[in-house]
Structure 1
Amino acid sequence: MFDQINGWVSDQLAISSGPSAYLFLFLGGVLASLLPCVYPVYPLTVNFLRNRKSDLGKFAHPLIYYAGLASIYFGFGIIAALTGGAFNQVLQLPLANLSIGLLLFVMALATVDLLHLPFFGGQVESEKNGLGGTFVMGAGAGLLSSACVGPIVVSILIAIASGASEITFGLTLGAAFKMMLFGLGVGIPVLLLGVFGMALPKSGKWMLSVQWVFAIMIGYFAIGYFVKGLNGLGFNDQMASYTIIGAILFVYAIFQIQSVQKTKQEKIKTALYSLLGVIGFLIMASNVLPGQAVGGNNLTASNSDSDNIEQKGELTWYLNKENAYSKAGETGKLVFVDFHADWCTNCKAFQEKTQKDEQLNAALQNAVLYKVYDTSTEFDKYRNDPRFPELKIGIPFFLITDASGNVLYKTNDFTKTEEMILFLE
């Protein structure tokens, strides 16, 4: 479902202009709001808003919450116009993914009342019922949902960047307005739930089951972000999974050994602080003990400075453009170009796919492979090429060209391996 929504938004932005483009942005946001990784935000929204009161009426807080959510996307548009997609690059950082995972994990605990977060609802005191806090919560929900719909957001940023010959006030405002429209679409269910959620059915045992279902959903996506962040730090999927399982078991053990007189919220806090202490100790120890590879990718990798070649398993990647295209001219093969960075989590995820996906691996072996690191001078040349506005937004980015450099295919979505295979074959 996610790939279809992303593709639909990209296609409509490519063929539409004027008012219709703005309409498709809003509709794309509404569709994105139905994604399963956005949906867990909704019960938290209802739990939060139903306890907020205002002299301005019952619609005040839902509307302010909605405005806060939309404002985050408005800010993304400004960032896209001024910095060329810094938001997308931030999302690729391991620390960003780990932070998102931590936020989701905390929200999962709060959903089943294992952790008390005043901002998410509960018994909110009257003096804390100001509209400012509601606006901040809406902005937080927008930030959380934006991480989930990141690839769709990138598609919009690419459309914005493709028409950006220079930065102007009009361009910046237009980019911000486009992103805000998408955010307004994403927030539609949140707004409706906030308005009608003021009169929820009476609580009962059924609500506990619902809360646990949502907590499990949120926890599932938290684990996904944790794995992605750990991959970016050099852990393979197996080591990342073992690390997460170990952390969960550690928290559970600390929770269980505490006094029964403590509340469950106090136990969870102690367990989380204990885990934080262990992580801090391991980080300090890693800077003291002799350095070793952390996990690795179980891939045979070697670099040859003289030949400018990088070997990954059975795949040979050229690091020099002239050598790559010379080889393509000799063999008549297509050239697959991978724009890569060591800090980019999706770049590393694709690197894993090239080894684990047998069809993709076989297709790549029939092409000349050229890898362009973000630290190379060639990367800047590609980035300034008007044919590739995607690189203004960030990486990953992939090209398939013929031996003469004519572009046959390009994408910034590392999951579209079937399309890559189709063009390579």
Structure 2
Amino acid sequence: MKRIVSSFCLVFFLAISLFAIEKPKILTPEEAFNVTTARDAQGIRIAFTIAQGVYLYDDKIKIELLTPKSRDITSSLTRPPAESFHEYQTQRRSFEMLIPEPLLASQASAFELKVSYQGCAEMGICYQPQVKQFRFDQQAASKTSLSEQDAIAMRLAEGNYGWILLSFFGFGLLLSLTPCVFPMIPILSSIIVSQPSVAMGAKKGFVLSLVYVLSMASAYTIAGILAALFGANLQASLQNPWVISVFSAMFVVLALSMFGFFEIKMPSRIQNRLSKTSDEAQSQGIAGIAVMGFVSALIVGPCVAAPLAGALIYIGQSGDVLLGGTALFVMSLGMGVPLLAIGTTAGRYMPRPGAWMQNVTAFFGVTLLGVAVWMLSRILPSFVTMGLWMLLCLLSALFFGAIEPLANTVSGWKRLIKGFWFIVLLYGIALFVGLLSGASNPLSPFERLTLKENTLHTASSSDASMLHVKTLEELNAFIAKAQKPVMVDFYADWCVNCVEFERFTFQDARVQEKLKTMERVKIDVTNNSDEDKKLQKAFGIFGPPAILFFKNAQEISELRLVGYKNADEFLTHIEKVGH
């Protein structure tokens, strides 16, 4: 009887224990996924709190701004790299997404934010798609917390047309002093010099220069609007080796014609038909200048600076093509002011036909060859480019008689000019010596002979410590795992400012020492491949140079750099990154 009672008690307690075991709790959607928002000076932060044992589908996360029109901004925002689970890309840990303030600058005084998502539980239960909406009152962000280009985009959103256009004209004047505009000076000067000198004067020089500048401004404006609306960097697309080679060859042909090897002109039948009146002849020349100005802007000077990036951000986020495009056009006119001055001066003081005029024409032929070599440097190995500079210096110096004796009766001006070409000859010889020593920088032909071995080792080891990535997934994975702040450098061989960063800013010993406290990532977008475009689009970049800083897997958006900074400016900037 005792055994029966004991067995009954044992079964009874086992049954109680089984019922007492807590079954897995099925979470409600609100318990599984808690989505909250908060606004600060940098923008709106969307926090996704994900409970234990559940996950979100990465491709189901969608962020939309609903006012004044619905816009999907998901692709403009960053989030942690997705994790693979049961062959799906998921988010399994809590994370945060930032909508930067410039992205909100074009919104109405009050607007709504729509957040859509869907997820499942590991136990096999999937939730219905979820949608949450949040309402905000527009407010101005602190300008000290914005990057330069973001602050410019916000200034555009404020809508003071007169002040905006005046500011962008000033930006253009500043950009006219950068290397992006310099190559256009010999192009325009060559056009002026090649015109019939009898009909040339200050007025015609100004008109021809104005046509060139207006065409250049139109090209920048059209390319900028396309880049902002469709994410298609037209300037980068035209940095194809074939395009650059053809355009460089065209400059070589024009230069040879200016040396007198041959004359470029239309067939006589067409020329006689077009040249019945002086007006028709002038319009024929203006059409060619307009084409040259338009193409030069896209191929010769593809630079991205903070004002340009700010205008592109504003157009892309607001869809306001009129104001954004007008700002770009006015900025381009500011960039063209020195070209107008040079063209007008060339038209006024251009010498009359004779031996002097032939020498001036030949000089501009040399400058056109220099532009051709400069363009080819984007697609040729550095030592080949240095060899071309060497040949150009030596041959042009010999052409202008650098080693020919002068008569005792020649003027002081001729002696001064000969001295100039003798210096060019010496520089050509220096390039030749440097080329034999293994140097590849035309600005420092003796670098291999004068730099100490440890300096070369430092430079090479610094470059070796930089990670080169090709895909967005690879970049996100590296940023997520980094223990130190990360600097991401978007670079292209055809980008003038990028090369300046490499040769001057990053070679500064103080900068190299400071960069040791960071992880460095270089993204080469020279080829403008689909993956290059994907990387740039993911971070809202319209072209190099662009330098981004990340800390704790999040971008420090107010420290984003667009355009060139010298060593001192760059050091001041990266001091804000911290450790």
Query: Contact conserved, 1:50 with 1:194, CA < 8 A, in 2?
Result: no
Aligned pair 1:44/2:198, yes or no?
A: no
Task: State the SS of the aligned residue for 2:520.
Answer: strand
Q: Which letter maps to 1:238?
A: F
Aligned pair 1:141/2:300, yes or no?
A: no
Task: Give the distance between the partners of 2:572 and 2:169, measured in 1 at CA.
Answer: 32
Give the structure with the larger helix fraction: 1
Q: Counterpart of 1:400?
A: 549
Q: Which letter maps to 1:224?
A: W
- Residue of 76, 83, 90 corresponding to 2:220: 76
Note closer, same or farther for the CA distance 1:316–1:40 as it changes in structure 2 (3 Å cut): closer
CA offsets per residue over residues 339-362 of structure 1, 9 Å max, x none?
357998976886788986655444
Query: Contact conserved, 2:255 with 2:366, CA < 8 A, in 1?
Result: yes
Q: Counterpart of 2:164?
A: 21
Query: Contact conserved, 1:341 with 1:373, CA < 8 A, in 2?
Result: yes
Task: Give the distance between the partners of 2:299 and 2:149, measured in 1 at CA.
Answer: 17
- What's the CA shift for 1:225? 1.8
Aligned pair 1:229/2:229, yes or no?
A: no
Q: How many residues are treated as equivalent by the alignment? A: 343
Q: Counterpart of 1:326?
A: 481
TM-score of the pair, normalised by structure 1:
0.60
Query: Contact conserved, 2:188 with 2:209, CA < 8 A, in 1?
Result: no
Identity %: 18
- What's the CA shift for 1:93? 3.9
Q: Which letter maps to 1:89?
A: A
Q: Which letter maps to 2:214?
A: A
- Residue of 285, 310, 316 corresponding to 1:159: 310
Task: Give the distance between the partners of 2:383 and 2:233, measured in 1 at CA.
Answer: 30
Aligned positions of 1:342-353 closer than 5 A: none
Note closer, same or farther for the CA distance 1:359–1:315 as it changes in structure 2 (3 Å cut): farther
Aligned positions of 1:25-424 closer than 5 A: 25-29=168-172, 36-50=182-196, 63=207, 66-67=210-211, 69-82=213-226, 83-84=230-231, 86-90=233-237, 92-118=239-265, 126-127=275-276, 129=281, 131-144=283-296, 147-151=299-303, 154-165=305-316, 168=319, 171-188=320-337, 193=343, 197=347, 200-230=350-380, 235=381, 237-242=382-387, 313-316=464-467, 319-328=474-483, 333-339=484-490, 359-371=510-522, 380=534, 383-384=537-538, 389=540, 391=541, 393-407=542-556, 409-413=559-563, 416=566, 418-424=568-574
Query: Contact conserved, 1:324 with 1:369, CA < 8 A, in 2?
Result: no
Gaps of 5+ in 2: 1-147, 396-439, 442-455
- What's the CA shift for 1:19? 1.5
Gaps of 5+ in 1: 1-7, 251-295, 301-310
Task: Give the distance between the partners of 1:199 and 1:338, measured in 2 at CA.
Answer: 46
- What's the CA shift for 1:336? 0.7
- What's the CA shift for 1:377? 7.8
- What's the CA shift for 1:102? 3.4
Note closer, same or farther for the CA distance 1:159–1:99 as it changes in structure 2 (3 Å cut): farther
Query: Contact conserved, 1:73 with 1:180, CA < 8 A, in 2?
Result: yes
Query: Contact conserved, 2:305 with 2:563, CA < 8 A, in 1?
Result: no
Q: Counterpart of 1:255?
A: none
Note closer, same or farther for the CA distance 1:320–1:163 as it changes in structure 2 (3 Å cut): closer
Query: Contact conserved, 2:256 with 2:262, CA < 8 A, in 1?
Result: yes
Q: Which has the larger radius of gyration?
A: 2
Q: Which letter maps to 1:46?
A: I
Stretch of structure 1 that moved more, 338-347 or 210-219: 338-347
- What's the CA shift for 1:211? 3.2
- What's the CA shift for 1:31? 5.8
Q: Which letter maps to 2:236?
A: Q
Task: Give the distance between the partners of 1:211 and 1:343, measured in 2 at CA.
Answer: 29
Task: Give the distance between the partners of 1:198 and 1:424, measured in 2 at CA.
Answer: 48
- Over aligned residues, Cα RMSD in angstroms? 5.0
Task: Give the distance between the partners of 2:217 and 2:243, measured in 1 at CA.
Answer: 18
Task: Give the distance between the partners of 2:543 and 2:566, measured in 1 at CA.
Answer: 17
Give the structure with the larger strand fraction: 2
- What's the CA shift for 1:334? 1.9
Task: Give the distance between the partners of 2:197 and 2:150, measured in 1 at CA.
Answer: 39
CA offsets per residue over residues 208-259 of structure 1, 9 Å max, x none?
44334433333333322222221xxxx2x22432367579999xxxxxxxxx
CA offsets per residue over residues 69-97 of structure 1, 9 Å max, x none?
41442243233223335233235444444
Task: Give the distance between the partners of 1:198 and 1:81, measured in 2 at CA.
Answer: 36
Query: Contact conserved, 2:485 with 2:549, CA < 8 A, in 1?
Result: yes
Task: State the SS of the aligned residue for 1:339.
Answer: strand
Task: Give the distance between the partners of 1:9 and 1:163, measured in 2 at CA.
Answer: 10
Note closer, same or farther for the CA distance 1:70–1:365 as it changes in structure 2 (3 Å cut): same
Task: State the SS of the aligned residue for 1:336.
Answer: strand
Task: Give the distance between the partners of 2:365 and 2:151, measured in 1 at CA.
Answer: 35
Note closer, same or farther for the CA distance 1:326–1:195 as it changes in structure 2 (3 Å cut): closer
TM-score of the pair, normalised by structure 2:
0.46
Q: Counterpart of 2:137?
A: none
Task: Give the distance between the partners of 1:73 and 1:242, measured in 2 at CA.
Answer: 34
Note closer, same or farther for the CA distance 1:315–1:111 as it changes in structure 2 (3 Å cut): same
Task: Give the distance between the partners of 2:356 and 2:392, measured in 1 at CA.
Answer: 30
Task: Give the distance between the partners of 2:521 and 2:337, measured in 1 at CA.
Answer: 44
Q: Which letter maps to 1:337?
A: V
Query: Contact conserved, 1:81 with 1:161, CA < 8 A, in 2?
Result: yes
- What's the CA shift for 1:399? 0.9
- What's the CA shift for 1:335? 1.1
Query: Contact conserved, 2:251 with 2:371, CA < 8 A, in 1?
Result: yes
